Amino acid sequence: MKRRDFIKTSGMGVAAITGTAGSLLSAPAIASNKKIKWKMVTTWPKNFPGLGTGANNLAKLITEMSGGRLTVKVYGAKELVPAFEVFDAVSGGAAEMGHGAAYYWKGKSEAFQFFTAVPFGLTAQEMNGWLFYGGGMQLWEKAYRDFNLVPLACGNTGVQMGGWFNKQINSIKDLKGLKMRIPGLGGEVLKRAGGTPVNLPGGELFTALKSGNIDATEWVGPYNDLAFGLYKAAKYYYYPGWHEPGPTLEALVNKKAFDQLPKDLQSIVRNAALVVNNDMLAEYTARNNAALKDLVNKYKVDVRKYPDDVLKKLSGLSDSVVAEIANKDKMSKQIYQSYKKFRDNVVAYHKISEQAYLKARSL
Amino acid sequence: MKRRDFIKTSGMGVAAITGTAGSLLSAPAIASNKKIKWKMVTTWPKNFPGLGTGANNLAKLITEMSGGRLTVKVYGAKELVPAFEVFDAVSGGAAEMGHGAAYYWKGKSEAFQFFTAVPFGLTAQEMNGWLFYGGGMQLWEKAYRDFNLVPLACGNTGVQMGGWFNKQINSIKDLKGLKMRIPGLGGEVLKRAGGTPVNLPGGELFTALKSGNIDATEWVGPYNDLAFGLYKAAKYYYYPGWHEPGPTLEALVNKKAFDQLPKDLQSIVRNAALVVNNDMLAEYTARNNAALKDLVNKYKVDVRKYPDDVLKKLSGLSDSVVAEIANKDKMSKQIYQSYKKFRDNVVAYHKISEQAYLKARSL
C-alpha cells in the first residue's frame, strides 16, 4: 500500500476491533508499525553453502510470504551464541528461532538422533515419509515440548559420502586403529569395529588430515568437500555414506513465541520450513553431481567403494548401536519402534522401486 | 500486536479501500471485504487419493497462509471442464488455477513431457534438482509463457510400478503383440518393442484387464493400485516402473491473474505448490510401502522383476524415442539438452550415493 492510499482511507476504521487476540494479530503490519522481528541462531558458519544459506532462505521466505509482517534476522554460529548452545538459546527465549540438527542435542536425549539420521537408516525421501506420514513428526513434537520448542524439518543433504582416507579399506581389519573424524552414532560404530572416532569442527579437518593427526574424515558430500579442498589432503574418497544416509536438518521455534503468532503466520513459518526442507536437497542433488565431476576429472580423485564385506559388518554393528538407544527411556523406545517399523517396510518397498529403478537405469 | 494496542490505534483506520488493484489486494481481507476467490480445475476425479487430495492440500495451504485473503475452490475432472481441457481453461482464464501433469499437454509440445517424466529419466529427487538448480524451471516457465500460464511443480508419486500383467515377461519377445494400457512415451517405447499400447482412463482399467480386452496395464503404485483392486484382475505385478521414474505433477496459474496478486500472495501461491510437491511424495512413500505389504501378505500378489535383458532393450529404445523430441523445434531441443546434461551428471553421482547406499543397506 502506498502512504497516500493509507491517508485517504484512514477514516474508514477496521472491522476486527472486537475480534479475538488471534484475529487482531492477523491485522496487517503494513497498516500499523507493529512488525514482528525475530532472531534466528544457527549452528553453521554465517552463509555456509547449503546449510547456512538454507537458514537464510528460511528467513527470506518468511519475510516474503508475510509481506514483511514477520522478519527474521539470521546469526551464524558464535555471532550470538556458540553452535552447540542454539537449542538452549531458543528453548530459553534468547532467540525465537534456531537452525541446526537434532543429533547435536543427543546430550538431552540419545533418541533425538532419529530425527536427523542413523547409520543404515532412512534416506531423505524416506525420512519425509516417516516424519509426515509415519508418525515421526508427532513424536518429534512430543519430545521437544518439554523444552518449550516446536521442531520443524528444515533441510537435507541427501546420502553423504563415506569420507576421505589416507589408508585403503580392504577389510574390516583396516578399520582397527583408524583415527577418523566421525561424530555421533557413526563414530560409535567405528569404535566397535576397533577404530578411534574423533570429533573436530569442519574448519579443522583439512589441517588435521594433512598433518596426519587423523587418518580419515567424513564431512558432507562433493559440493561441501570440494570447497574445503579435502582432496588435497587425502588419497581416497570412499562411498557410500552409510553413517548419514539423508540427514534431516531442523528449524527450532520457541513454543511460546510460536503460540503467540496469528494462525496465518504460524502456517507461513511451518510451510517456509517445509520448502527449505526440500529445496536444500534439490540444491545438494544438483551441486553434488557437478562437484563430483570436477573432483574426478579435474582433480583426479581416487573414488572407491567400501567393500561389501566391510559394509555388511558395519551394518550389523549399527543395528546394535541403534537398538541400544531404545533402552534409555520410555520415549526413546517409542521413537525407536516407530522408526524401526517404518524402516523395515520402506526398505522392502524401495527394493522394488527406487533401488530396482536406479539399477535398471545403469544396466 | 496486542488487542490493547490495536484499539488505541484504530482511529488510524486501515488501508487501501481506494487504492490501486495491486495495493487493494495487499490489504488484509480481514479489514475489508475484498477477498480474492479463485477456481482450480483439475485432471483428477474429485478427492482422488494422493493426486486429487494433493490439489485439495494446495488450496488449503493458500487459504491458511493468506489468512483467508485468497481462497481457492477445487473442481474435479468434468465438474467444470473435462480433464484434458484443464490447460486451455486456465490459459484462457475460465479458471485461475489448474492441477494436472505437463505430459497431458504433449499435443501443444512434445517437449512438455520432460517436465513430468520420461522413460529411464530422472527420479523425484533428481527432477527437483534439475527444475530448481539445473535450469529446468526457467525453461518450463519460458515454454508456458506463450500460453499465458505460470507452471509450478506440485506433486510427485515417486518411482511407479511396472504394471499388472496376465502374461509373463521373460524376454523382449514377450512384449510382441502385448496389448497394454500405457500412455505417452512409455507407450511409444512399447510400440517399438512390438507391443500395442492403448490409452484408457483409470476407471476403466479393472474391467478391461479382467475381460481380457487388454493383457496388461500400468497405473501408479501399490497405494493407488490396491484401491483399484487390480490384483483381482491380473496374475503378475512387475517392477520397476521404467516408464515413469518420478513424475512431477503441476499446478498451473493464469499468468494475468498471478501478475495481479500482491507480492506476498504470489510468494504464498508459489511456496504452497512447493510444499505440496514434496508432501505428496512423502505420502506415496509411506502409503506405497504399507500397501505393498498388504498386496504381498494379504492378497498373495506375485511380484516380479522385469528381466535385466528386457530392461536393457527398453532403455535403448527409450533413448531414441526421447532424443527424437529434440528435433521437433528449437525450444524442444533446448529442453532436451538441458535435461540430458543434468541426467548424465546425476546418474554418475547417484551411482555412488543413492544407488550405492540402497544396495549397501540390503546386502
**Chain A residues close to B274, C-beta within 8 Å:** 274-275, 278-279
Whether B349 shows a pLDDT value over 90: the answer reads yes
Whether A354 shows a pLDDT value over 80: the answer reads yes
Instruction: Read off the pLDDT band of A267 (50, 70, 90).
Output: very high
Question: Where is average pLDDT lowest: A59-63, B4-8, B225-229, B287-291?
Answer: B4-8
Given an 8 Å threshold on Cβ–Cβ distance, is A129 in contact with B282?
yes
Could you give the angle at the alpha carbon of A110 between the alpha carbons of A105 and A115, nearest 5°? Answer: 70
Instruction: Read off the pLDDT band of B23 (50, 70, 90).
Output: very low
Identify which of B64, B36, B248 has the alpha carbon closest to the alpha carbon of residue B151.
B248
Alpha carbon distance A77, A101 (integer Å): 13
Helix (H, G, I), strand (E, B) or coil at B342: helix
Q: What is the pLDDT of residue A2?
A: 36
Whether B8 shows a pLDDT value over 70: the answer reads no
Structure confidence by residue, pLDDT tens digits, B199-241: 887 888 999 999 999 999 999 999 999 999 999 999 999 999 9
Given an 8 Å threshold on Cβ–Cβ distance, is B17 in contact with A28?
no
Structure confidence by residue, pLDDT tens digits, A126-184: 999 999 999 999 999 999 999 999 999 999 999 999 999 999 999 999 999 999 999 88
Residue for grid cell 473442481: B75
Q: Give the percent of chain B with pLDDT over 70.
A: 91
In a mutagenesis test of the A interface, which of B64, B65, B343 is the best target, namely the one with the most A β-carbons within 10 Å?
A: B65
Given an 8 Å threshold on Cβ–Cβ distance, is B278 in contact with A128?
yes
Whether A33 shows a pLDDT value over 70: the answer reads no
Helix (H, G, I), strand (E, B) or coil at B292: helix
Alpha carbon distance A201, A211 (integer Å): 16
Given an 8 Å threshold on Cβ–Cβ distance, is A264 in contact with B126?
no
When the pLDDT of each residue in chain A is averaged and rounded to a whole number, the result is 91
Alpha carbon distance A36, A55 (integer Å): 18
Q: What is the pLDDT of residue A199?
A: 85
Instruction: Read off the pLDDT band of B281 (50, 70, 90).
Output: very high
Structure confidence by residue, pLDDT tens digits, A50-66: 999 999 999 999 999 99
What Rg value do the Cα atoms of chain B yield, rounded? 23
Q: Which residue of B has its CA nearest to A309?
A: B363
| Candidate from A263, A285, A357 with C-beta closest to B240 | A357
Alpha carbon distance B160, B218 (integer Å): 9
Average pLDDT over every residue of B141-167: 97
Alpha carbon distance B359, A355 (integer Å): 7
Identify which of A248, A171, A180, A258 has the alpha carbon closest to the alpha carbon of residue A214.
A180
Given an 8 Å threshold on Cβ–Cβ distance, is A268 in contact with B65?
yes
Given an 8 Å threshold on Cβ–Cβ distance, is B354 in contact with A349?
no
User: Rounded to 5, what percent of chain A is helix, strand, coil?
Assistant: 55, 15, 30
User: Where are chain A's structural domains?
Assistant: 20-157+246-285
Q: What is the pLDDT of residue A202?
A: 81
Q: Which residue of A has its CA nearest to B354?
A: A159
Residues contacting residue A314 through CB under 8 Å, at least 6 positions apart: A119, A120, A172, A189, A193, A242, A306
**Chain A residues close to B67, C-beta within 8 Å:** 26, 262-264
The distance of Cα A187 from the centroid of its chain, to the nearest Å, equals 18
| Candidate from A133, A348, A360 with C-beta closest to B286 | A133
CATH entry, B3-156+246-285, from 3.40.50.1100, 3.30.1330.60, 3.40.190.170, 3.30.930.10? 3.40.190.170
Q: What is the DSSP string of A76-137?
A: -TTTSS-GGGHHHHHHHTSSSEEEE-GGGGTTT-GGGGGGT--TT---HHHHHHHHHHSSHH
**Chain B residues close to A345, C-beta within 8 Å:** 289-290, 292-293
Q: What is the pLDDT of residue B183?
A: 86
Secondary element (H or E) of residue A305 = strand A302-305
Helix (H, G, I), strand (E, B) or coil at B6: helix
Helix (H, G, I), strand (E, B) or coil at B149: strand
Q: Which residues of B230-254 are buried (b: 16+ CB within 10 A; e: fewer)?
A: bbebbebbbbbbbbbbbbbbbbbbb
Whether B30 shows a pLDDT value over 90: the answer reads no
Q: What is the pLDDT of residue B199?
A: 85
Given an 8 Å threshold on Cβ–Cβ distance, is A285 in contact with B128?
yes
Given an 8 Å threshold on Cβ–Cβ distance, is A353 in contact with B290?
no
**Chain B residues close to A13, C-beta within 8 Å:** 10-11, 13-14
User: Rounded to 5, what percent of chain B is helix, strand, coil?
Assistant: 55, 15, 35
Q: Which residue of A has its CA nearest to B223?
A: A349
Chain A: closest CA distance from residue B81 (Å): 31
Q: Give the total residue count for chain A.
A: 363
Given an 8 Å threshold on Cβ–Cβ distance, is B358 in contact with A355?
yes
Helix (H, G, I), strand (E, B) or coil at B42: strand
B7 DSSP assignment: H
Whether B335 shows a pLDDT value over 90: the answer reads yes
Q: Which residue of A has its CA nearest to B60?
A: A267
Report in angstroms the alpha-carbon separations of B239 from B280, B305, B306, B327: 21, 5, 6, 31
Contacts across the A-B interface (CB distance below 8 Å): 334
Given an 8 Å threshold on Cβ–Cβ distance, is A271 in contact with B271?
yes
Average pLDDT over every residue of B189-200: 95
Instruction: Read off the pLDDT band of A18 (50, 70, 90).
Output: very low
Q: Evaluate whether B3-156+246-285 and B163-245+302-361 have a shared fold.
A: yes
Strand locations in B43-145 (E) = 70-75, 97-100
Whether A224 shows a pLDDT value over 50: the answer reads yes
Alpha carbon distance A86, B182 (integer Å): 52
Given an 8 Å threshold on Cβ–Cβ distance, is B292 in contact with A349?
yes
Average pLDDT over every residue of B266-293: 97
When the pLDDT of each residue in chain B is averaged and rounded to a whole number, the result is 91
Whether B323 shows a pLDDT value over 90: the answer reads yes
Q: Which residue of A has its CA nearest to B319?
A: A361
Whether A20 shows a pLDDT value over 60: the answer reads no
Given an 8 Å threshold on Cβ–Cβ distance, is B362 in contact with A349?
no
Q: Which residue of B has its CA nearest to A20?
A: B3
Q: What is the pLDDT of residue A120?
A: 98
Alpha carbon distance A189, A180 (integer Å): 12
Alpha carbon distance B215, B165 (integer Å): 6
Whether A258 shows a pLDDT value over 60: the answer reads yes
Q: What is the pLDDT of residue B201?
A: 78
Given an 8 Å threshold on Cβ–Cβ distance, is B363 in contact with A308?
yes
Report in angstroms the alpha-carbon separations of B60 from A267, A326, B54, B258, B323: 11, 38, 10, 18, 39
Alpha carbon distance A295, B323 (integer Å): 29
Whether B244 shows a pLDDT value over 60: the answer reads yes
Structure confidence by residue, pLDDT tens digits, B309-318: 999 999 999 9
Alpha carbon distance B55, B59 (integer Å): 7
Residues B217 and B208: beta-carbon distance below 8 Å: yes
**Chain A residues close to B353, C-beta within 8 Å:** 158-161, 221, 239-241, 288
- Fold of domain A20-157+246-285: D-Maltodextrin-Binding Protein; domain 2 (3.40.190)
Q: What is the pLDDT of residue A22?
A: 35
Helix (H, G, I), strand (E, B) or coil at B83: helix
Whether A32 shows a pLDDT value over 50: the answer reads no
Q: What is the DSSP string of A190-221?
A: HHHTT-EEE---GGGHHHHHHTTS-SEE--S-
Q: Which residue of A has its CA nearest to B238?
A: A352
Residues A280 and A54: beta-carbon distance below 8 Å: yes
Structure confidence by residue, pLDDT tens digits, A287-341: 999 999 999 999 999 999 999 999 999 999 999 999 999 999 999 999 999 999 9
Q: What is the pLDDT of residue B196?
A: 98
Given an 8 Å threshold on Cβ–Cβ distance, is B125 in contact with A305?
no
| Candidate from B133, B285, B360 with C-beta closest to A240 | B360
Q: What is the pLDDT of residue B340?
A: 97
| Candidate from B17, B28, B292 with C-beta closest to A27 | B28
Given an 8 Å threshold on Cβ–Cβ distance, is B271 in contact with A267?
no
At residue A340, what are phi and psi to the nearest 5 degrees? Answer: -60, -45
Q: What is the pLDDT of residue B94?
A: 98
The CATH class of the B163-245+302-361 domain is alpha beta
Given an 8 Å threshold on Cβ–Cβ distance, is A286 in contact with B32?
no
Residue for grid cell 532393450: B313
Which triple of cell numbers denotes residue B61?
A: 495451504
Helix (H, G, I), strand (E, B) or coil at B305: strand
Q: Which amino acid is at A172?
A: I
| Candidate from A346, A355, A363 with C-beta closest to B359 | A355
Q: What is the pLDDT of residue A23?
A: 37
Given an 8 Å threshold on Cβ–Cβ distance, is A262 in contact with B126?
no
**Chain B residues close to A18, C-beta within 8 Å:** none
Q: What is the pLDDT of residue A348?
A: 94
